Structure 1
Amino acid sequence: MNGNLKRLRFKKHKHAGNVGDRPGTINVPSDALKPIISVYSYNKDELVTCEGKDIKTALKQLNKCDNHTHWIKINGLGDAELIEQIGEHCNINSLVLEDIANTHQRPKFDEYDDYAFCTSRIVHFNKENEIINCQFSAIIKDNIIVSFEEDHTDRFDAVKARLKAGKGAIRTAGPGYMCYALTDTIIDNYFVLLAQIGDHLDALEDKLYESADKTIMFDAQQLKRTLIVVRRASWPERDKINDMIRSESPLITPEVKLFLRDAYDHCIQAMDLIENYKEVTSSIIDLYLSMVSNRMNEIMKVLTIISVIFIPLTFIAGIYGMNFSRQDDKGHILPDNMPELYWHHGYIYAIVFMLLIAVIQVFVFWKKGWFNRL
């Protein structure tokens, strides 16, 4: 990671729809991307893939490969009609379709009569160092899993590579295992994000020890906000996986539950890392504030020593700056009015005396060790 931490920006999502809309209404945001549909039909012997932009592509593939398990991957939610057509084809409740289009859901797992629905949060940095928090949704039914993502970024290359290789249980364990594989990939991406945050924290600590400035506090606070976003995604994800493990749905087989326990452990590890990094960011902020406070104390100590040295000198200068007259208006001598003002070399005596006082004070401060602590 680059040691120079850029300002972190948070992508803002606009809520679609209006307050009081009928439950089950599909409201697609105006800036939602048009969908791209990829279909992966697979069994133990083969993998058939195709791409398109409408439901006909998926239906044609499903009819062609009737003895396969199908993963319909939809990137982009900018077509409400497509979501409705998928709902009609799979007999999905309208509330589920609403949750797919409303991309502010927390991670969850819901069971229905003949299908299951789950959501997750995909959190990552983009090229501009902006934290992106997108929703991933999936419908699991019979031999079909339909996944929905907000953008066109392909984050499941590893899963597709496993499909092409045909090794392991991914081709034979059904759509429940595919849901696990996608969920596990999302959790693995949390570790990638946390590794980037860890690099940022290391760079901040190095900068703190070398040349601390106020940008450290701002950057640490931005990282803390990022960790809060990741925490809000990972904590419900743990509960979601736990619900899948405890599920009695035939879609989540005992074999899949065994793998889900491993994903659950990974989620717990990510949560521990998040909490540790949050403590580190708080420590960096506290350490910076302590360093600023200590630096201010040192400056105040120097100014205090200088002031203490000049207080008696200022006092002497003030005494002899009063200039009371030695004689009255009739020429009579006033013996009590500063005879030193008429001494020969009186100015030199005063300067030497003031210098002697300053030297004595500096010597006393030095003996006390005050200068060693500056």
Structure 2
Amino acid sequence: MIQVCLLEDGRILTGGEELLDRAGRKWIDVSEPTEEVMGRLATRFGLHRLAVEDTLHLDQRPKLEEYPGHQFIVLQGFTRGADVCQLTLHEHHFFLSEDWLISVHSLNFPGFESVAKRVKDDPRALQERGTDFILYMLADALVDAQFPILDDFSEELEDLEVAIFERPERTQLQRIFELKRMLVTLRRVLSPQRDVVSLLSRRGVPFIHERTTLYFRDVYDHLVRLYEQIDAGRDIVGNAMDGYLSMVANKTNDITKQLTIFATLFLPLSFIVGFFGQNFDALSTPQHYTAMWVMIVGFPLGLIAWFKYKQWL
């Protein structure tokens, strides 16, 4: 599906492919691209065959490539599902020239509609600032959508840490690994994307005006913040795992300690019962039974007092 925003006589016209051949700056958005649609656009705008092929395979990494007459940019982002670890990857491809911008994607992200509305309501975005500014707005919306995901991640990780120190459970360890895999996924995407935006924020990139590089520098700062949050999250996840293992080890030590104390208490009793339970007629006297009961009661009490004195209890 093709949607076109065309700047003509100071106003924005919206429509489909019928606007492609009309003169003026334009933003062409292609959702759910097909080989036929991309072939028509490649013929009309001189898109390079390798770049067009990349748009039909959603397994690219963030990158910036220069072709004759246009730049090819790949940017990615995520949206979350009901669970913070349920991430949906959004891969967006852009062809940038002086008078047109082609955006290609299979899924819309939340900030896309706001960018489209801003372009339609404010013709200056195309008239005065150019197609590279539209690229900036799309990149900024894609990057800013990652902050709520990491905020939700931080809140869940804090709750998980509290739960671990209150009562460690096996399901918490499984959740820690899920959160760790989520961070690895975010890092794998945002790390190369930071390099791409860094290139866009430098002077001398074709079709990126100097005034727009300042805006891309702001996007780069956002990516640096995200990257720092991911690194901090990795450290906290590691601490949470260490805390879980420590709590489990402490719990195991407490159980072993209690079992050892019970065994120690019953050890002298077993000796006494075994010794005085022998069939000796000479010992079958009232004194014998008195001594036996004194030892049965005295030994455990003495051991308990000794344990408390040694601070084992």
Q: Is 2:291 the counterpart of 1:349?
A: yes
What is the CA–CA distance in structure 2 between the aligned matches of 1:297 and 1:307, rounded to whole Å? 15
What is the CA–CA distance in structure 2 between the aligned matches of 1:189 and 1:42, rounded to whole Å? 28
What is the CA–CA distance in structure 1 between the aligned matches of 2:90 and 2:160, rounded to whole Å? 27
Show structure 1 runs of 5+ residues with no match. Answer: 1-35, 51-56, 327-337
What is the CA–CA distance in structure 2 between the aligned matches of 1:171 and 1:280, rounded to whole Å? 47
**Aligned positions of 1:18-29 closer than 5 A:** none
Aligned residue for 2:52? 97
Distance 1:182 1:306, change over 3 A: same
Q: How far does residue 105 in structure 1 lie from its aligned partner after superposition?
A: 1.0
Q: Is 2:164 the counterpart of 1:208?
A: yes
Q: How far does residue 209 in structure 1 lie from its aligned partner after superposition?
A: 3.8
Aligned counterpart in structure 2 of residue 174 of structure 1, from 123, 127, 130: 130
Q: How far does residue 290 in structure 1 lie from its aligned partner after superposition?
A: 0.8
TM-score using structure 1 length? 0.77
Stretch moving more, 154-163 or 105-114 = 154-163
What is the CA–CA distance in structure 2 between the aligned matches of 1:312 and 1:187, rounded to whole Å? 70
What is the CA–CA distance in structure 2 between the aligned matches of 1:131 and 1:154, rounded to whole Å? 14
Q: Provide Cα deviations, 1:108-139, integer angstroms capped at 9, x if missing partner.
A: 11111210000011212124652112311111
Distance 1:168 1:234, change over 3 A: farther
**Aligned positions of 1:5-20 closer than 5 A:** none
Q: How far does residue 268 in structure 1 lie from its aligned partner after superposition?
A: 0.6
Aligned residue for 1:118? 73
- How many residue pairs get aligned? The number is 312
What is the CA–CA distance in structure 2 between the aligned matches of 1:225 and 1:44, rounded to whole Å? 51
Give yes or no for contact 2:11–2:123 (8 Å, CA) kept in 1.
no
Q: Which amino acid aligns with 1:106?
A: R
Q: Provide Cα deviations, 1:198-223, integer angstroms capped at 9, x if missing partner.
A: 22212222323443322222112111
Aligned residue for 1:359? 301
Q: Provide Cα deviations, 1:316-353, integer angstroms capped at 9, x if missing partner.
A: 223344x4x65xxxxxxxxxxx732x224634532331
What is the CA–CA distance in structure 2 between the aligned matches of 1:168 and 1:126, rounded to whole Å? 36
What is the CA–CA distance in structure 2 between the aligned matches of 1:128 and 1:217, rounded to whole Å? 17
**Aligned positions of 1:319-334 closer than 5 A:** 319-321=275-277, 323=278
Give yes or no for contact 2:5–2:120 (8 Å, CA) kept in 1.
no
Q: Is 2:119 the counterpart of 1:163?
A: yes
2:47 match: secondary structure: coil
Q: Which amino acid aligns with 1:362?
A: I
Aligned residue for 1:7? none
Distance 1:196 1:168, change over 3 A: farther
What do you get for the CA RMSD once the two structures are aligned?
Answer: 2.2
What is the CA–CA distance in structure 2 between the aligned matches of 1:153 and 1:239, rounded to whole Å? 22
Aligned counterpart in structure 2 of residue 63 of structure 1, from 21, 27, 30: 21
What is the CA–CA distance in structure 2 between the aligned matches of 1:349 and 1:262, rounded to whole Å? 87
Q: How far does residue 240 in structure 1 lie from its aligned partner after superposition?
A: 0.4
What is the CA–CA distance in structure 2 between the aligned matches of 1:76 and 1:268, rounded to whole Å? 31
Give yes or no for contact 2:93–2:105 (8 Å, CA) kept in 1.
yes
Q: Which amino acid aligns with 1:293?
A: A
Q: How far does residue 303 in structure 1 lie from its aligned partner after superposition?
A: 1.3
Distance 1:44 1:107, change over 3 A: farther
Aligned residue for 1:85? 40
Give yes or no for contact 1:119–1:136 (8 Å, CA) kept in 2.
yes
What is the CA–CA distance in structure 2 between the aligned matches of 1:197 and 1:148, rounded to whole Å? 29
Q: Provide Cα deviations, 1:148-199, integer angstroms capped at 9, x if missing partner.
A: 1122555412212322342875552211111111111111111121112122
Distance 1:73 1:344, change over 3 A: same
Aligned residue for 1:38? 3
Q: Which amino acid aligns with 1:133?
A: L
Q: Is 2:154 the counterpart of 1:198?
A: yes
Q: Provide Cα deviations, 1:249-308, integer angstroms capped at 9, x if missing partner.
A: 431111111111111111111100110111111111111111111111111111111111
Greater per-residue helix proportion: 2
Give yes or no for contact 2:30–2:103 (8 Å, CA) kept in 1.
yes
Q: Which amino acid aligns with 1:62?
A: L
Aligned residue for 1:295? 251
What is the CA–CA distance in structure 2 between the aligned matches of 1:136 and 1:289, rounded to whole Å? 41
Aligned residue for 1:265? 221
Percent identity of equivalent pairs: 25
Give yes or no for contact 2:90–2:108 (8 Å, CA) kept in 1.
no
Aligned residue for 1:339? 282
Q: How far does residue 232 in structure 1 lie from its aligned partner after superposition?
A: 0.9
